[in-house]
Amino acid sequence: MNNQEKVQMLLIYGRCNRNSRQSAKMYAEQYPGRYHPPHTLFIKIEKLLINHGAFSVKGVRNQQIRQNNINDDVELQVLAYIRLNPRSSVRHVGREVGISFGLVHKILKKHKLHPYKPELVQHL
């Protein structure tokens, strides 16, 4: 659904005095060849415009921005962290250093280290 269709939906929603069910019926009558959205989409579009000023909110929410490039400093940080905390998970190392756990895997693979935690099953 493109922005032009969303604008038309919002105009119909206004004509129907913000009645979403009536708006959905009117939209289906006016545009029979188009996708007929559920009535809740009219409310959602209005809230997005009021809260964010756009029809959709793109981006990552509640996550820190991580760098995607691996440089020598990042490699040294990862290797030093693993040297000091060998039982740390790959995800934990990634959060601490500020990179994704996939990049931590790449660094470990590059240095021929294994991203698993050894666990003794039998005592010899």
Report residue 113's pLDDT band, with 50, 70 and 90 as the boundaries. confident
Query: Comparing 5 with 120, which gets the higher pLDDT?
Result: 5
CA Rg value for the chain: 26
- 70-89 pLDDT, tens digit per residue, is 788 889 999 999 888 888 88
pLDDT score, position 35: 87
Q: H/E element holding 30?
A: helix 20-30
Give the model's confidence band at 118: pLDDT under 50 very low, under 70 low, under 90 confident, else very high.
low
Cα separations (Å) of 12 from 5, 38, 44, 55?
11, 14, 14, 16
The model carries a pTM of 0.47
Residue 15 has pLDDT above 90, yes or no: yes
